């Protein structure tokens, strides 16, 4: 992997604690999912080391919070610039450990860096408030202050952006930040530490603690009094565990959890645009995102036409090693991911679904899988309630608006939703009726640093991105003064 980088010194496999790169207690292997070979042996940080990292982060935060917003903004801006200067290398590292096509990795690096840029700017705009007093002698001021040490646990599907979306607002607010990346993708997190170091972010303000012992680290984060904020992206199942654990210390939590996004195509939609949107939304990252369309609902009048167009477009796309040119689908992250896609296909076909494209592991072997389209999907099939997290597009048929809104909302999740339509009153009505934190109208791509990303129902707590995103890392203090 080093030989593929312009700057091989970016490839670091140690933890970053208190401004130093340090060994863990042993190492764990990181593999390339396209080839299955071990590409790095990464420091396996122990719980005791994480406790030490928290103590250092706590001490560093006290100083960091004294910096002016502009001073914090300047080093964050340096960090952003370094990420973009090294975009290609960061993308290669990301693809090597995670598998997504290089073009998507470049996009993720730019997207991830944009959160650092955006929140660097916001660091200067953390405004408080004055409130007219409730008595003649009273003056009321509201201060916004950093919460303290923030700890994150993140997944492998966006190894860069899931960290920067949290670290950007945390550092801008004056919090210190400790990242425990997914064990599949620690290199993309550690390289952020290499660049943080070069950018002049003070020791202890940003730390990375790779570890194969996720539950130990999660416990330390939740039980350690010095940690004041836990921010998690991952499954609803693990989110519930962490919320329970965090209850004992009454820790503030942000949770970006699972989704089960509906993608609705009404009969007045621009079908070509809907097909293009569905492809980006369903198949980006090989279907491994929490905002991926999981259920595609198509109105009966355009159902067959949409299915044909979608099939024709997906057929032209290529499966292969993400480091090679012209690849649209990399491997899935591991064999369990393949098994889940297969289970969902088998469940669907046993209940009357018809595979019109793909349906099998790719002839490339490993965790490569054919992009798959299933017609005749119904609400009793597994993917109607469970996120597939793979390249499987199930097409459900519906007759009218009320029916599809009820089906779309029939889930415990409420992260992203999408629909294609032209009738203006329909657009408003459906956008308002969807019980989701995010609604894409005539677009399949909704992620941006300038908008508040987050879910309702069991998809999570809090918002990431936009000026709202920094609030999750701030406490309000109200000062009541008698004059």
CA distance 211 to 201: 23
Q: Which of 122, 220, 256, 449 is catalytic?
A: 256
At 334, list the tokens.
């591991």
**Cβ closer to ligand ADP: 47 or 311?**
47
Measured between alpha carbons, how far is 77 from 60 in angstroms, rounded to an integer?
Answer: 20
Please identify which residue in 238, 319, 345, 381 interacts with ligand ADP, judged by CB under 6 A.
Answer: 238
Which of the ranges 46-54, 169-177, 235-243, 469-477 carries the binding residues for ligand ADP, by CB under 6 A?
235-243
Shortest reach from residue 221's CB to ligand ADP, in Å: 8
- Count CA within 13 A, CB hemisphere, residue 147: 24
Which is closer to ligand ADP, CB of 389 or CB of 419?
389
We find the least distance from the C-beta atom of residue 219 to ligand ADP, in angstroms, to be 7
Q: Which residue has the tokens 């519930």?
A: 240
Give the closest residue to 418 by CA, choosing from 445, 396, 399: 445
The CB-of-211 to ligand ADP minimum distance in angstroms stands at 9
Could you give the 3-state DSSP secondary structure of residue 387?
coil
* Comparison of 163 and 171: residue with beta carbon closer to ligand ADP: 163
- CB within 8 A of 324, min separation 6: which ones? none
Coil, strand or helix: which one is 168?
helix
Is 215 a binder of ligand ADP (CB under 6 A)?
A: yes
84 lines the binding site for ligand ADP (CB under 6 A): no
By CB under 6 A, how many residues form the interface with ligand ADP? 12
Q: Which of 153, 193, 292, 345 binds ligand ADP (CB under 6 A)?
A: 153
- Of 389 and 473, which CB lies nearer to ligand ADP in the complex structure? 389
Nearer to ligand ADP among residue 182 and residue 302 (C-beta): 182
What's the sign of the alpha-carbon dihedral 74, 465, 114, 210? Answer: positive
Please select the residue that binds ligand ADP; options are 101, 146, 148, 155, rule is CB under 6 A.
155
221 or 329: CB nearest ligand ADP: 221
Strand (E) positions, 411-461? 416-420, 438-441, 460-461
- Among the residue ranges 213-221, 311-319, 375-383, 469-477, the one whose residues contact ligand ADP (CB under 6 A): 213-221
Q: How far is the CB of 318 from ligand ADP (least distance, A)?
A: 25
Task: Return the structure tokens found at 194.
Answer: 């290499």
Confirm or reject binding of residue 182 to ligand ADP (CB under 6 A).
yes
- Annotated catalytic, 117? no
Pick between residue 31 and residue 349 the one whose CB is nearest to ligand ADP. Answer: 31
Residue 397 CA to residue 407 CA, distance in Å, equals 11
Structure tokens, 267: 């009969």
Q: Is 234 in the site for ligand ADP (CB under 6 A)?
A: yes
Considering only 99, 148, 210, 218, the residue that binds ligand ADP (CB under 6 A) is 218
Q: Tokens standing for 227? A: 């940690």
Tokens representing residue 129 in the block? 């408030």
β-sheet bridge partners, residue 177? 150, 206
Q: Which stretch binds ligand ADP (CB under 6 A): 18-26, 27-35, 161-169, 232-240?
A: 232-240
Instruction: Give the position of tokens 């993140």.
Output: 154
Alpha-carbon distance of 384 to 396, in angstroms, equals 10
With contacts defined by CB under 6 A, name the span among 112-120, 152-160, 309-317, 353-361 that binds ligand ADP: 152-160
- Could you tell me if 383 and 394 are in contact, meaning their C-beta atoms sit under 8 angstroms apart? yes
**Strand residues in 224-371 grouped as ranges (E):** 227-233, 252-256, 261-265, 293-299, 354-357
Provide, rounded to whole angstroms, the least separation between the CB of residue 4 and ligand ADP: 25
Is residue 241 near ligand ADP by the rule CB under 6 A? yes
| Interface positions with ligand ADP (CB under 6 A) | 153-155, 182-183, 214-215, 218, 234-235, 238, 241
Catalytic residues: 256
């Amino acid at each position: 992997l080093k030989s593929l980088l312009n700057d091989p010194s970016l490839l670091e496999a140690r933890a970053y604690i208190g401004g130093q790169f340090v060994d863990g207690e042993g190492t764990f292997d990181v593999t390339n999912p396209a080839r299955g070979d071990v590409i790095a042996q990464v420091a396996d940080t122990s719980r005791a080391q994480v406790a030490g990292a928290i103590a250092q982060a706590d001490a560093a935060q006290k100083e960091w919070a004294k910096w002016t917003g502009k001073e914090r903004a300047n080093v964050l801006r340096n960090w952003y610039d370094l990420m973009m200067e090294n975009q290609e290398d960061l993308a290669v590292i990301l693809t090597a450990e995670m598998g997504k096509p290089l073009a998507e990795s470049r996009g993720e690096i730019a997207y991830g860096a944009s959160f650092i840029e955006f929140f660097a700017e916001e660091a200067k705009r953390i405004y408080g408030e004055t409130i007219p007093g409730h008595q003649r002698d009273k003056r009321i001021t509201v201060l916004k202050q950093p919460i303290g040490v923030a700890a994150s646990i993140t997944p492998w599907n966006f190894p860069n952006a899931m960290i920067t979306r949290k670290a950007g607002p945390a550092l801008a607010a004056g919090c210190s930040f400790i990242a425990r990346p997914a064990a599949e993708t620690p290199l993309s997190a550690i390289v952020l530490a290499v660049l943080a170091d070069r950018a002049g972010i003070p020791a202890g303000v940003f730390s990375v603690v790779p570890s194969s012992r996720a539950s130990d680290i999660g416990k330390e984060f939740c039980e350690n009094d010095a940690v004041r904020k836990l921010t998690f992206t991952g499954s609803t199942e693990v989110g519930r565990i962490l919320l329970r654990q965090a209850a004992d210390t009454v820790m503030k939590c942000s949770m970006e959890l699972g989704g089960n996004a509906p993608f609705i195509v009404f009969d007045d939609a621009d079908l070509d645009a809907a097909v293009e949107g569905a492809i980006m939304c369903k198949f980006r990252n090989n279907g491994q995102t929490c905002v991926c369309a999981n259920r595609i609902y198509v109105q009966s009048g355009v159902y067959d036409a949409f299915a044909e167009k979608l099939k024709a477009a997906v057929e032209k796309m290529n499966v292969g090693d993400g480091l090679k040119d012209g690849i649209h689908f990399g491997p899935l992250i591991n064999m369990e991911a393949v098994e889940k896609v297969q289970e969902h296909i088998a469940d669907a076909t046993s209940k009357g679904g018809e595979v019109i494209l793909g349906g099998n592991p790719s002839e490339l072997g490993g965790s490569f899988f054919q992009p798959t389209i299933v017609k005749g999907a119904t609400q009793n099939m597994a993917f109607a309630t469970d996120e597939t997290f793979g390249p499987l597009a199930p097409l459900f048929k519906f007759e009218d608006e009320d029916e599809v809104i009820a089906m779309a909302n029939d889930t415990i999740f409420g992260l992203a939703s999408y629909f294609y339509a032209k009738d203006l009153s329909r657009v408003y009505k459906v956008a308002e009726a969807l019980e989701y934190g995010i609604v894409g109208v005539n677009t399949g791509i909704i992620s941006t640093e300038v908008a508040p990303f987050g879910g309702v129902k069991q998809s999570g707590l809090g918002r990431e991105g936009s000026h709202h995103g920094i609030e999750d890392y701030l406490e309000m203090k109200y000062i009541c003064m008698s004059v």
